[in-house]
Amino acid sequence: MMVQETDRMVVGRRFKMSALGADRCPELADRTGIVVHVSHSTTGITVLFDGARRPTVLHRDFISLV
């Protein structure tokens, strides 16, 4: 099975919180932003929420690409 381009974690892609992310981090449930760094050695994805000054690292299962 081939992974579609739209499913890849790529720097610059927009994201929203996934259902799991909203459940684990309810204060971030309605937030969106962009991916700023993808670690290939850990499960962390560095994101910048819209309106935020500093990036945040989240588990890759906590976000969904839009």
**Structure confidence by residue, pLDDT tens digits, 20-57:** 999 999 999 999 999 999 988 999 999 999 999 999 99
* 48 bridge partner residues: 34
pTM of the model: 0.84
Quote the tokens at residue 48.
């910048």
Residue 38: give its domain's CATH number.
Answer: 2.30.30.30
Give the 3-state secondary structure of 24-65: HCHHHCCCEEEEEEECCCCCEEEEEECCCCCCEEEEHHHEEE
Quote the tokens at residue 7.
């499913």
Residue 49: domain span: 5-65
pLDDT confidence tier of residue 7, bands split at 50, 70 and 90 = low
Domain count for the chain, please give it.
Answer: 1
62 pLDDT exceeds 60?
Answer: yes
